[in-house]
Structure 1
Amino acid sequence: MSENLGHLHGPNADGWERVVVVGLVATPPDHPARVVGLLSAELAELLSSRVDRRVRWEVRSNWGAVAPRRDGGLAALLDDVAERRETAGWDITICLTDLPLHVSRLPLVAHYSLRRRAGVVSLPALGLGQVRAARAAVLGLVEGLATALVDDRSRPREERVGRMVEGVAPVRRVVDQTDDGEIGFVSSRITGTLRLLAGMVRANRPGRALLGLSKLLVGAFGTAAIALTTNTIWQMGDALDGPRLTLIMVLSLVGLVGWLIIAHDLWEKASAETPRELARLFNLGTGLTLGLAASVSYLVLFAGTATTAALLIDSSVLSQNLGRPVGLADYAVLAWIITSLATVGGAIGAGLEDEDDVRAAAYGYHPTPTGWRDDPASNGDDTSWNDGRPRGS
C-alpha cells in the first residue's frame, strides 16, 4: 500500500505525504472501550511501521451507542459508525463491539465496507485473546480501507487483508455480490460458535460477577461454619458416595445460578428489538458467566471449609463419631457435602446482593462506565458519561 497513499497529494509543510485520521469507536462503551483505550495508544505507530511510514497516522477514539440496535445487525452498526465518521471528519473508522454478529447464521469476526469507509470487529468472535487479535484485525481492515482513499477504482488488497484477519482466527471471506466493497470474515458454525461463547464470557468479565457474589460467599461461610459442628452432617457425608456427592454439587450450583437469574430478572426475552437467536446467545453468555463465578466461589468455599474442619475437628472425635479410622479424604468429603449445602443456603440469600453488581453479569446489561469521555479532538465535545443503564433499552 505504501506505493499508493502518496499519490493523492505531494508532501505537506510537515514533510508528510498524507495525513490519515483513523477513528476507533467502542460500542457499547464497556469492555470495547477498554480495548479501544489499549489500541489507540499504539495504533499510530503500528500503522506507520506495518502499513506506510510516509503517512502521518492520527488515531481518535470515541464511543458508540450504549444500547446499539440489535434488530438491525451489522448494517445498522455500520451505518451508525459511518455517520460518526462523517460528523467527526475522520478518513476511516473502525468499530469494536461486543455485540455478537452473524452472517448467514455464521459468527462474524470482522467486516469492512469501502462505501462507508468503515469496518467492524466483533470482539467476542475473537475468543479469549481479544486485544492481540483485535490489534491484527484492525491493522488489516485499516490497510484495506486506506487503499480505497487513494483511488476509488482500486480494490483493497484483499489477499493481505484476509491474511491479517485470518491470522487471528480461522475464518473465510464472504463477499457481498450485491453491494460492491462489502467484505466480511466469518468463522465456522461449531468451532466459531464455541469461540464466540468463550469470547462473550471474557467480555462479560466473570471477575466482576464474582465480586458481585461476595456477600453470598460470606453468608455461605457462616452456614458452613454452623454445619461443621453438626455430627449429623458428618454421618451424612460418610454415607454418600462420589456420584451422589457430585450430583448434589451440580444441583447446588445450578440452583444458585438459576436463582440469581430469576431473582434479578437476568433472562433476556426475544422481542421485536432482540431477535430470538441473539437473545439465546445473551442468555448463554449470562449463564456461563454466572456459572464460572459460582464455580470459583464454590472452590473458595470448599478450601475454607476444609481448612476450618481440619483445624476445629480433631481426628479422634471424627473417628469416634463415624466408628472407624479417618484420614484426609474424610475431611475432604465432609467439606464437600457442607460446601454444597452452604451453596444452597447462599442461593436463598442471593436476593440480598447488590442489584447492579449482579445485573452486571447479564450479557444484555452493561452499566455505563464512569469517567469515559469523548476525545475532544475528534468531535469537539467533552461530554462525560451518565449513570449506568441497560445496554438493550
Structure 2
Amino acid sequence: MERISIALFTAPGIAGRVSANLIDNLPGMLEYYITDEYEWYVDYQEDILTGGTNDSYKVIEAVSDKKDQGDWDYAIALTDLPVFEDEKPVVAEALRDKNVGFISLPGFGFTKMEKRVQEAILQLVNEIYYGTSDSSREEAQEYIDSKDPQKYDALRNKGSRELIGGRLFERFSPLIRERPIEEDAGVAVRYTVKSRMSGMLRIISGMVFANEPWKMFPSFLKILIIAFTTGSYALVFPTLWKLSDEYSVIRLFLLMCAAILALVGWIIMAHQLWEKKDENNNKFIRKMNNASTFFTLLLTVMMYYVLLLILFLATTFMLVPPSGLETQLSRDIAIFDFLIIAWTAASISTLIGGLGSAFEDEQVVLDSTYGYRQRQRHEKIKKQREKEKEKEKAQREEYEGEDEDENN
C-alpha cells in the first residue's frame, strides 16, 4: 500500500507536547476521516522559526522548505503565537498548491488543546487532499458519512466544512471558513473568528493557556511563606480582629483586589515583563503580549491568594480563641467572623509580605510570558543563522582552495 507522510513542525513548548501526544492516534483518524487507500505516517519536529514569528506567510514558507527537504507529502505547522490578518484572529490556514498549513493554538481559547488540535489537523489535511471547492467538500462529506459514526466520538458532530466540532465555546465565539482570493499568498482556505470582540477574548485566553500559568505557581512558594508568616504573626494580636470587624464586605473586596493587582504589578515591574515600544515590534502584537502577561500573572496570583486564604482560615480557627474574640468585639461571634479575619489577613499579608519578595525560580516566571520567550527564540534563530553563514563561508573557502590547487 502506498504511504502518505505528514510532518508536524511545532514551536517549542506546549505545541510540541500536544503534537507528541497526538501522533499515535492520527494515522488511524486520517484513514477514517480522509481516505483508507493509503497508509498514513505522522511525525513531528520542533522548529524554532515556527514559534519565532506572527507572520503566517513566513511560517508557511519555512515549513514548505523543510517539507521539501525532508521529502514529506504534507506539512502542518503548530505555533503558540497568535496570528492575525488585518487584526482579525486567524486560527488556521492551508495552501493546497504547497500541501502545507498552519494552526495557531491561541485561536482555540482557554481550553484543553489536544482534541481541538487533532480535529484541526484532520480538517486541514482533508482540505488539501480533496480541495476547498463546494463540490470537493461534498465529496469529502460523502466519504465521512460512509464511515462508522461510532468509531471516533470526537468526530461524530464534525462536518467537512468545520475546523473543529461543535462545542459550547464555539457557540459563544464561532469560527468561520473563508476561501480568500487567489492573490492572497496562495491561501486555499482560512479559518477565522467571526466576531472581533469575542475573537480578542478567545486569543488572549488562548495565549494565557499557552503560557501555562499553573507551572508558574510553584515559584510563588517563597512569597507564600513570607506572606503567611507575616499574617500568622498578626493573627495573635487583637488589632487585626478589631480591624476586620470594622471593615465592610465591600471594603474587604476592594482590599483583596488592591492586594492582588499590587502583587501582579510588582512582578511585572521587578522582572521587566512589560514589553515597551520597539521599532521591530508590532504595536498590536505588543499589546496582545502585554495583555496575556497581565492575565497570566493575574490568574496565578489569584491561585496563590486562594491558597493563602485557605491557610489563614485554618490558622484562624486554631490561633484565635472564641472567648477572646467575643471579649474584643463585645458581641456574640459566628463562623463568618473567622472567615472575615482570615480574609483580612490574606489581603494585608499579600500587601506587606508579598511585595518586594523574590521568586523561588525566576526562570519559570520569565518562560511563562510571550515577550521573554520570543526574545529567547529570536536570539536562537539569530545564532542558528550565524552558524549557517559560517558553515557556508567555510564551504566556500574550501571550494576556492580546491580550485586553486587544481589550477596549480
| TM-score with structure 2 setting the length | 0.81
**Deviations 1:198-242 (CA, angstroms, capped at 9, x unpaired):** 211111111112112121112111111111112111111111111
Quickly say closer, same or farther: Cα 1:55–1:67, change in 2 above 3 A.
Answer: closer
CA contact (8 A) 1:112 1:119 kept: yes
**Which range is displaced more, 331-340 or 184-193?**
184-193
SS at match of 1:288: helix
Q: What corresponds to 2:262 in structure 1?
A: 255
Deviation at 1:154, TM superposition (A): 8.8
CA contact (8 A) 1:21 1:91 kept: yes
Q: What corresponds to 2:306 in structure 1?
A: 299
Determine whether 1:144 maps to 2:131: no
Q: What corresponds to 1:8 in structure 2?
A: none
Letter in 1 for 2:358: G
**Deviations 1:238-258 (CA, angstroms, capped at 9, x unpaired):** 111111111110000000000
| TM-score with structure 1 setting the length | 0.83
Is there any run of 5+ residues in structure 2 with no aligned partner, and where? Answer: 141-158, 380-408
CA contact (8 A) 2:18 2:114 kept: yes
Deviation at 1:295, TM superposition (A): 0.6
Greater helix fraction, Structure 1 or Structure 2: 2
SS at match of 1:269: coil
**Deviations 1:149-186 (CA, angstroms, capped at 9, x unpaired):** xxxx9999356586231536422223331144432110
User: Within 5 Å, which residues of 2 pair with 1:1-393?
Assistant: 16=1, 18-27=2-11, 29-65=12-48, 68-70=51-53, 73-127=55-109, 128-147=111-130, 157-158=136-137, 163-165=161-163, 167=165, 169=170, 170-177=174-181, 178-179=183-184, 180-187=186-193, 188-366=195-373, 390-393=376-379
CA contact (8 A) 1:219 1:349 kept: no
Letter in 1 for 2:325: L
Q: Distance in 2 between matches of 1:67 and 1:85?
A: 13
Q: Distance in 1 between matches of 2:161 and 2:191?
A: 11
Deviation at 1:304, TM superposition (A): 0.7
Q: Distance in 2 between matches of 1:162 and 1:110?
A: 15
Q: Distance in 2 between matches of 1:225 and 1:181?
A: 61
CA-based RMSD of the aligned residues comes to 2.2
**Deviations 1:329-362 (CA, angstroms, capped at 9, x unpaired):** 1111111111001111333243344220221231
Letter in 2 for 1:292: L
**Deviations 1:67-117 (CA, angstroms, capped at 9, x unpaired):** 7443x6111111111111111111100011110011122111110012322
Q: Distance in 2 between matches of 1:310 and 1:114?
A: 66
Q: Distance in 2 between matches of 1:82 and 1:230?
A: 68
Q: Distance in 2 between matches of 1:104 and 1:144?
A: 24
**Deviations 1:26-79 (CA, angstroms, capped at 9, x unpaired):** 11x101011111111211111112211120111111112167443x61111111
Quick one: percent identity of the two aligned structures?
A: 29
Q: Distance in 2 between matches of 1:242 and 1:101?
A: 43
Quickly say closer, same or farther: Cα 1:200–1:42, change in 2 above 3 A.
Answer: same
Q: Distance in 1 between matches of 2:202 and 2:59?
A: 22
Q: Distance in 2 between matches of 1:278 and 1:182?
A: 25
SS at match of 2:45: strand
CA contact (8 A) 1:306 1:331 kept: yes
SS at match of 2:82: coil
Is there any run of 5+ residues in structure 1 with no aligned partner, and where? Answer: 1-15, 368-388
CA contact (8 A) 1:204 1:289 kept: yes
